[in-house]
Structure 1
Amino acid sequence: MPRAINIDDLFRLRLVSDAQISPDGQRVVCVVKYADREKNKYFSHLYLCDLRTREVRQFTSGEVADSQPRWSPDGKTIAFVSNRQKPKAQIFLIPVDGGEARALTSLEEGSIGEIVWSPDGTKVAFTFRLTPEPWREQAAKERKEKGFSTPPRIITRPFYRLDGAGYFDGEYYQVWVADAKTGEAKPLTSEVTSCGSLSWSPDSSKIAFVCNRSEDPDLNPNLVDIWLVPAEGGDLQRVDTPKGPKGDIAFSPDGTRIAYVGHTKVDDIWGVTNDHLWVADLISGTARDIMEGFDRSLGNLTLSDMRDVGGGSRPVWTPDGKQLLFLASDRGSTVLYSISAEGGEPVFLRGERADITGFSLSADGRRIAWCEGTATQPHEVFAGTLGDGAIQNAEAITRFNADWLAEVQIQTPEEFACLSPDGNEVHGWILHPLDFDPAQKYPLILEIHGGPHAQYGWVFFHEFQLLAAQGYVVLYTNPRGSKGYGEAHTAAIKGAWGGPDYTDLMAAVDAQLTRGYIDETRMGVMGGSYGGYMTNWVVSHTDRFRAAITDRSVVNLHSMAGTCDFPLLPGGDYFRGNAWAEPEHLWEHSPLKYAGNIHTPLLIIHSEGDLRCPIEQAEQLFAALKVQKKEAVLVRYPLESSHGLSRSGPPDLRVHRLQQILDWWKKHLSSE
């Protein structure tokens, strides 16, 4: 008899990602990550899957974090990034058919962003951000031994830190190249902002990358260009493209074109605009959107607590240069498509009611590997044959979570759609409790996603399954503002948080009440980040929920304008005004303004290390409620946690957070 899922299952789950198929299409290497309870850390290893024998074997081991496996062009060696030389991260090389991994690089302490083999196999390009000496582990140790203070930071730029990455301290990701034999490495750039998204020219002579080299990149974040740098170093050459954000670039097989993901709305810093696939012609100096009319955004924009936020959609060319493959988010799914390099209508390949996080092609373009998960199945490696505009013979190659899935009872979500009072369709899902009986009455929990321009969808979510296992009906939707339903749906909340989104959420709750098994007196609402903002907004505009949980939330847009890691730039057509001379619009849409209307018991969860929605947001709401003698509890997590606590924070703190959530709902939504 399967058992109910519990909090400790976080330590049983295996998170599979980055499926990379060998050039000959015979093997796939992937990354498997897990949380270690005893060490209170995450470890990740490489696994090698033989597509001929279906043998899956662990390829690296130890208390390490191995990631980004990349096949050499001849298929004999795998390069990967590892922290096994702690605190330094290095690129390692390991022979596929036997032998120990050896460090290719000997970098100082810092962070490696991405690695890419040159097509001729003689070099590895990578991005690297150096940790300044005062902030290295050894320097901190020496200060502690001598009783010295942590040095102050002198800040001169508005964008000087990033949640999950910390403070830049004047160092940014630069393009480097290492000799694959000697390991000799050197930087090719020295920019005052980060470089990324590397792609080699087919003849291995140049590296393309993206960088914002405008006069003031902090205040013009979307002025990103594609640049070419000689592999041996030298002057940068700009690729002619329209102004706008760019990323996920890929040289064509013949070296005459570069595909990239982006758009041309320079003022859209919130991500409302659909990211499309563009092709830049290096000969004619022109670039064009090859999917005009495709009303979806590229990339994996589906939220889950089983992986970091989303994933890129770096397009992949077929070897003949006639087609491009890419990912896009659509009604809760992340779908794999193909499209003619000349433009046209995208062709669906894979991903109906599923979540695809990455894919790769063999050298001849006939074999394809990817990672795929669903609402009831954590991600595994899949492989198939690509031909005639379709993926054939698709099958799961790994079953890392099979034993665990056989042990627990997983609830399958029920998809639904309803209408808001103004006629807008609201798409969502409900999870029923274990042993569900529609003749009984159940408490309901409304989950609201963050972003806001992201989506819930067909992906495994431990927290949702945990709540269903505790006897709650879990409701989650994609109200206006979400991605996956067209640009107009996303743009509906520009400058209007708490408007159409609130209407849609309440309509979704009303629709569930018509089912007859929801106890209207025992409903809760919760969400994180923008979902926390909406939770705050909901309880300050209605008393229909018995209790609420707001997590890493936005409370005061006025103060967020200067304390968020991304400074709120004035102007544009999102939030009007600014924080110093025209704060009225920001304040009008801040839940704190309406804190006097909150009567719902509120659990506030926040991390001191959150740079996206700083702890001052939680402090303001907590203080406002306590001085009014309202029921509120603040759970304040330490500096080592960040905005991503619920999905990638320290394992013990994730466990604590989930227990606080269960305890709060048990206290307030119990039938007793």
Structure 2
Amino acid sequence: MESLYIKDFLNFNFLSNIELSNNNLLFIKSHQNYENNNYISDAFIYNTQKNKTYKLTSVKDASLVSWLNDDTVIFKSSLRDEELKSKKDEEFIDYSLFYSININGGEAESLFNIELEVIDLYAIDEDNFLIKAVYDIEREKKRKEDNYLEWAKEEIDYEVFDEIPFWINNIGVTNKKRDRLYHYNKKENKLTAITDEYSNVHSFKYKDHKVLCIINSFTDKSLTTSELRLYYIKDINNKDVNKKKEEKIIIDSNKYAIYFADFIIDNDNKEKIITVMTDMQKYGLNENGSFYLIDESNNINLLYHYDNGIGNMIGTDCSFGGGKDIRVYKDKIYFVGTENENAHIKYLDLNGNIKNITNKQGAVNYFDISNDDNIYFIGFRDLKLEEIYCINNGLENQLTYFNEDILKDKKLSIPEKISFKTNNDFEIDGWVLNPIDYDENKKYPAILDIHGGPKTAYGEIFFNEMQVWANMGYFVFFCNPRGSEGKGNAFADIRGIYGTIDYEDIMKFTDIVIEKYSNIDKSRLGVTGGSYGGFMVNWIIGHTDRFKCAASQRSISNWIDDFGTTDIGYYFNPDELGGDVWNSFEKLWEESPLKYANNAKTPTLFIHSEEDYRCYQSQAFQMFTALKYYGVEARVCLFKGENHELSRSGKPKHRLRRLKEITYWFEKYLKLT
């Protein structure tokens, strides 16, 4: 058996976007290209009858992959047409080029191009498509004027902000930009807007000439609530599509945060709308959504109160890409739900009965359902990387082995679970990884790893950085303190008390681990975490000296500064911290790690990204400056061109450098010389 090294993650394969058509399972496989510092993504097919997998495309950057018909796949790829490239550069026009390819053989062919940045696509038929694309309000107005090119060339050097949020992490500047929904008729080469220019379309569903949209419409300030609109497109092949469009507001924008909506046929064969949404009245912005049915008269009825998060919230640094984690199939809704340390597929019927489809330890990312009721999913099992699995008559089988050879000869540490109860009987779950080649006669350093969120969770799935450190001779321990996902809304609710009960849980867990694992050298403890975990690292070093070094990643240090610089600060802080800078200045300062930085003695590394608009770079610099000011050793590594997702989807060279920086920091302070 071989050790797992820092660089080994460059060999990992990532699976996403799983979609079925008859006996063929379409998905994307991605891997990192270190030399070119990018990701290679292509479409693959798994034939469920032949149990055979084959590569469908060789474009290396396939995205928005979906079925056009049972034999044809459509996908978006980068511009390869030199004329279009030149036009894009000279005329400041975004293009999205779509291709089609027959799954039975042949080369990819150009299908159509759209003069917009397309971010989602649904094929109604071979000539008609619903397209969600970025609409730049100011630019599109200027394009109608004669001096557009002169204006566009001048504007390259400027960004103008007049609304909030003015940027969004992993997207960039969003001021006066909206995700707008269009109908595109390929035969007519006609693009028709369905939604208005100020409406941001979160998601949409199509059925029988009806389009159901979750929308956030705003000027000046985006709201945390959303609305549900239904558009009737009577004849998609009619040239006057826009004149045939009707609009109906199902839910207005005053009350609910809506996360999902789709059509469903009830037990009386009537069509209804099923939604996942919350009014946020009891637990605020982080309140988990419940399931509701809406009838044709817009009556909203609770179907099932679901207390946990929908989607896979189990943390890992080994997933890339997207997909569907909730679907309506026949008369049921299937979804991934996070409970405790697992993410399972469940179904809910229209009588309010809920049942687990998967029960094994691990996490499901995305799934689809075949006509014979088999379920295919991308997930993590045991300590394996992502693979595709099938559930047939309750039995789960692994179908792909893309990552099997990568880890089969590597030494891995099996997580050992530790649980304890808080003073109000909440159970805190945590785990310990023993050092590889553990010798009971030796003392070892240990690393505490704290997850982000805070409304995410750790589980017993493969987490690369932790396994690397275990291979390097560290104990690694991690837990799900109060504030985490998986144990209900009440457990996750730490509004207004950040750094109190969550800090107590983490410190108590640390005490229990040290007591139980006597081979841990408690004088050689390190701590790291990102996002909320970075906030907690900053908090810890200002409240205890028990850690010999720390690595704070994409962190928060000053809630006052965070309010006006980040994409969520203006609504997250009043809700989660309990006020804004005018009415609750002292409270925000009390809950800011920067206030206590003058107490810090712990050498700390700060990892941050230049384009992190979720936790802006000023957060790291303020904490770094405070430590330097008070004579504490500190270091900042700032990654250009990266955002809040550095550890999960950053450029390969940057991801490698990040892990090296953290690891070398621990080696410097925790290993005996």
TM-score for both structures, normalised by structure 2: 0.89
After TM superposition, list the pairs within 5 Å mapping 1:112-261 onto structure 2. Answer: 112-118=118-124, 122-130=127-135, 150-179=156-185, 184-201=190-207, 203=208, 205-213=209-217, 218-230=221-233, 232-233=241-242, 234-240=245-251, 243-252=255-264, 256-261=271-276
Aligned to 2:66: 70
8 Å contact from structure 1 (residues 260, 279) kept in 2: yes
1:398 paired to 2:436: no
Q: CA deviation at 1:582?
A: 3.0
Q: Is the 8 A contact 2:448 2:478 kept in 1?
A: yes
Matches of 1:336 and 1:310, distance apart in 2: 16
CA distance in 1, matches of 2:282, 2:45: 44
| Aligned CA distance change for structure 1 residues 180 and 376 (closer, same or farther; 3 Å) | farther
Matched with 1:61 is 58
Choose which of 291, 295, 298 in structure 2 pairs with 1:277: 291
The aligned residue for residue 98 of structure 2 is: 91
The 1:481/1:508 distance shift into structure 2, 3 A limit, reads same
Cα distance in 1, alignment partners of residues 654 and 251 from structure 2: 48
Structure 2 counterpart of 1:101: 108
Tell me the residue number matched to 1:139: none
1:296 deviates by 1.5
Structure 1 residue 6 corresponds to structure 2 residue 5? yes
State the AA in 2 paired with 1:220. L
Query: Which segment is superposed worse, 566-575 or 527-536?
Result: 566-575
Cα deviation per residue 1:473-523 (whole Å; 9 max; x = unaligned)?
1111110000101111001x1111101100110111111112212111111
Find the counterpart in structure 1 of residue 380 from structure 2. 373
Structure 2 residue aligned with 1:341: 350
Residue aligning to 1:359: 367
Alpha carbons 1:361, 1:367 under 8 Å: kept: yes
Which blocks of at least 5 consecutive residues in structure 2 are unaligned?
86-93, 141-148
What SS does the aligned partner of 1:38 have? Answer: coil
Matched, 1:537 2:539: yes
Check conservation: 2:99, 2:111, Cα contact below 8 A: yes
> Given that residues 135 and 197 in structure 2 are in contact (C-alpha distance below 8 angstroms), is that contact kept between their aligned partners in structure 1?
no
Q: What does the per-residue CA deviation read over 1:119-152, in whole Å, with 9 as the maximum and x for residues that have no partner?
A: x5653212111468989xxxxxxx9xx9978422
User: Compared with structure 1, are the counterparts of its residues 352 and 609 closer, same or farther at alpha carbon in structure 2 (3 Å cutoff)?
Assistant: same
Give 1:267 shift: 8.8
Once the two structures are TM-superposed, the CA of residue 570 in structure 1 deviates from its matched residue by 8.6
Contact 2:202/2:216 (8 A) holds in 1: no
Identify which of 291, 300, 307 aligns with 2:304. Answer: 291
Match of 2:18 in 1: 19
In the other structure, the counterpart of 1:658 is 659
Residue 570 and residue 370 in structure 1: after superposition, are their counterparts in 2 closer, same or farther (change >3 A)? closer
Instruction: Give yes or no for contact 1:126–1:198 (8 Å, CA) kept in 2.
Output: no
Residue type at the aligned position of 2:570: L
Distance 1:147 1:84 in 2: 22
- Asked if the contact 2:558–2:593 (Cα under 8 Å) also holds between the matched residues in 1, the reply is yes
- Measured against aligned partners, the alpha-carbon deviations of 1:311-338 in whole angstroms (never above 9, x if no partner) come to 76433222xx2x2211111112111001
Aligned match of 2:336: 327
How far apart in 1 are the matches of 2:661 and 2:478? 20
| Match in the other structure for 1:575 | 577
Which residue identity is paired with 1:224? E
Q: Judge which range, 475-484 or 401-410, deviates more.
A: 401-410
* CA distance in 2: counterparts of 1:123 and 1:255, whole angstroms: 27
- Aligned-partner residue type, residue 383 of structure 1: C
CA contact (8 A) 1:299 1:310 kept: no
Change (3 A) 1:310 1:290: farther
**Shift, 1:310, TM fit:** 8.4
Q: Which residue of 2 aligns with 1:388?
A: none
Question: What per-residue deviation string (whole Å, max 9, x for no partner) do you get for residues 257-294 of structure 1?
Answer: 122222122696642x122222222x2322223222x4
* Deviation of the 1:617 alpha carbon: 0.6
How far did 1:100 drift? Answer: 2.5
Instruction: Name 2:671's counterpart in structure 1.
Output: 670
Greater CA deviation, 415-424 or 296-305? 415-424
- AA partner of residue 468 (structure 2): L
Structure 1 residue 187: deviation in Å?
2.5
* 1:525 alignment counterpart: 527
CA contact (8 A) 1:452 1:481 kept: yes
Structure 2 Cα separation of the partners of residues 184 and 193 of structure 1: 21
Please report how far the alpha carbon of residue 167 of structure 1 lies from its aligned counterpart in structure 2 after TM superposition. 0.7
Contact 1:368 1:383 survives alignment (8 Å): yes
Alpha-carbon separation, structure 2, partners of 1:268 and 1:68: 35
- Deviation track 1:218-264 (CA, whole Å, cap 9, x = no partner) reads 35321332433425342321124793111332222567112222212
Distance in 2 separating the partners of 1:342 and 1:263: 20
Q: 2-side partners of 1:399 and 1:315: how far apart?
A: 26
Q: Distance in 1 between matches of 2:249 and 2:198?
A: 17
Q: How many residues align?
A: 638
| Aligned-partner Cα distance in 2 for 1:183–1:341 | 41
CA distance in 2, matches of 1:274, 1:578: 24
- CA distance in structure 2 between the aligned counterparts of 1:499 and 1:662, rounded to whole angstroms: 28
- Label 1:266 to 1:351 Cα distance change in 2 as closer, same or farther (>3 A): same
Question: 2-side partners of 1:459 and 1:84: how far apart?
Answer: 38
Distance 1:270 1:377, change over 3 A: same
Deviation at 1:11, TM superposition (A): 1.8
- CA drift of 1:626 comes to 0.8
Is residue 40 of structure 1 aligned with residue 45 of structure 2? Answer: no
SS in 1 for 2:114: coil
Q: How does 1:582-597 map to 2 (within 5 A)?
A: 582-597=584-599
Cα distance 1:130–1:5, how it changes in 2: closer, same or farther (>3 A)? Answer: farther
CA RMSD between the two structures: 2.6
Cα shift at 1:298: 1.4
- The C-alpha deviation readout for 1:373-396, integer Å capped at 9, x for no partner, is 1351111111233xxxxx434311
> 1:175 and 1:351, CA in 2 relative to 1: closer, same or farther beyond 3 A?
farther
**8 Å CA contact retained: 2:288, 2:307:** yes
State the alpha-carbon separation in 2 of the partners of residues 477 and 312 from structure 1. 28
1:495–1:574 CA contact under 8 A, matched in 2? yes
Partner-residue secondary structure (3-state), 1:466: helix
**2:389·2:399 contact (CA, 8 Å) conserved in 1?**
yes
Q: Distance in 2 between matches of 1:114 and 1:607?
A: 27
Q: State the Cα deviation string for residues 143-176 of structure 1 (Å, max 9, x = none).
A: 9xx9978422221112121000001142211112
Query: Which amino acid in structure 2 is aligned with residue 347 of structure 1?
Result: K
Alignment correspondent of 2:74: 79
Distance 1:56 1:616, change over 3 A: same
- How far residue 601 of structure 1 moved from its aligned partner, in angstroms, is 0.7
Superposition deviation, residue 116 in structure 1: 2.2
Do the aligned partners of 2:137 and 2:197 also contact (CA within 8 Å) in 1? no
Aligned to 2:90: none
| Cα separation, partners in 2 of 1:177 and 1:102, compared to 1, 3 Å | farther
Structure 2 contact 457–484 (Cα < 8 Å) conserved: yes
Could you report, residue by residue, the CA deviation over 1:47-96 in whole angstroms, capped at 9, with x for unpaired residues?
1111122111111113x321343224x51222233335477433332222
Structure 1 residues 399, 572: closer, same or farther in 2, change over 3 A?
Answer: same
How is 1:267-666 mapped onto 2 (pairs within 5 angstroms)? 270-271=285-286, 273-281=287-295, 283-292=296-305, 294-307=306-319, 313-318=325-330, 321=331, 323-344=332-353, 346-362=354-370, 364-374=371-381, 376-385=383-392, 391-420=393-422, 423-491=425-493, 493-515=494-516, 516-569=518-571, 574-638=576-640, 640-666=641-667
SS of structure 2 residue aligned to 1:656: helix
